Each structure stands twice: as C-alpha cells, then as structure tokens.
C-alpha cells in the first residue's frame, strides 16, 4: 500500500476539473515564447506560448501546443513552418501583447522577416529564435500539438529568459 505524505485533497484516480488542473500547471514555472508564422497572403500571425518543450536532438525537434481555433495555428499549418521566439526578461509587455489577441500586435513591435526565416523574428524581445518546419500536428482537446523540426537558430543579445508561473512574470534569478 502506498501512503501519501503531506498531500491533501482528492483521491487518486478521481477526474481532475479544469480549474484544478489550471491551478496545478500555473504553479509550474516555464519560459515564455511567442510562436509566429506568415499566412499564405504574407500576413504575420503570432501568439504567446508557454506550452513548449524540446523533443529530440537528432533531428533537432521541439513541440508547441497552440489553441485549435487560433489564426496563428492556421498560418502554421498553411505554410508548414513557424518561428519560436524565446523571450528575454525585458519582454513582458510583448508577452502580454501577444497573449491579448490584439489584431495590431505586429504594428506595435519591431519584427524582422527575410527569406531564411520560418516566421517573424522578434529580435528586440527574444534572446533566441528557432526556425522550424512543421511536422505531425496532433489535435488534443481544444489544442493542437505541432512538432517543429528546427532548421536554424538565431541567438540574440544574451539576457536572462522571461519566466511565467503563479500567474505572474519574472526574470531568471541572478546567481
């Protein structure tokens, strides 16, 4: 028999409610990224994303989880490529802007796109950007997991990453 020490609450095996799950995951700090893509007409799209992780080094692959009805996901799937902008500690305003759904977000930030980019680069706000080829989208509930085969990495100004947890932003603590 297994005994739980120091845990209070529900019985193991009982189904979690959405708010319980949100509270649990909100207590798990994570880095903050903005996923960007261009649609078929060349319009930029982007959204703040904290559901991101590395998958494998060979080939270099990451995954992002995007809201199933988002125009950013539609652009990613249409073009088959996207960029992951890892935000630095001075980019909280940009994280909030891209989480807001404001239609004019790309008019309010500096961004760059050239033939080698898979999506807009937020150079002023990102410490690193990964250009990815979209692979194997998988719908899970109201989100779509998209694997990204990383075809290039651009390093920006070395700054600590922006973190999010407990419903607030913070910087990586200095040693």
For tokens 């932003």, what's the residue?
A: 169
Is residue 11 pLDDT above 70, yes or no?
A: no
Give Cα 3 to chain centroid, integer Å: 37
The whole-number pLDDT of residue 1 equals 47
Domain segments of the chain as ranges: 31-163
Burial of 159 (0-12, 13-18, 19+ CB in 10 A): middle
DSSP character at residue 79: H
Q: What is the pLDDT of residues 81-95, one digit of tens each?
A: 999 999 999 999 999
pTM exceeds 0.95 for this model: no
Distance CA 67, CA 59 (A): 25
Q: Which CATH number fits domain 31-163: 1.10.10.60, 2.40.30.10, 3.30.930.10, 2.30.110.10?
A: 2.30.110.10
């Amino acid at each position: 028999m297994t005994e739980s020490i120091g845990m209070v609450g529900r019985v193991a095996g009982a189904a979690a409610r959405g708010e319980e799950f949100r509270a649990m995951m909100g207590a798990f700090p994570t880095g903050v990224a903005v996923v960007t893509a261009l649609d078929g007409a060349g319009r930029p799209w982007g959204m703040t994303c904290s559901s991101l992780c590395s998958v494998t080094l060979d080939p270099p692959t990451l995954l992002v989880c995007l809201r199933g009805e988002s125009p950013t996901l539609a652009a990613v799937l249409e073009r088959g490529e996207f960029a992951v902008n890892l935000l630095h500690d001075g980019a909280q305003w940009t994280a909030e802007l891209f989480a807001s759904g404001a239609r004019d977000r790309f008019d309010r930030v500096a961004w760059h796109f050239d033939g080698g980019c898979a999506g807009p680069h937020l150079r002023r706000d990102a410490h690193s950007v990964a250009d990815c080829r979209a692979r194997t989208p998988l719908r899970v509930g109201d989100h779509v997991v998209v694997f990204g085969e990383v075809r290039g990495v651009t390093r920006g100004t070395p700054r600590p990453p922006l973190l999010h947890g407990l419903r607030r932003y913070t910087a990586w603590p200095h040693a």
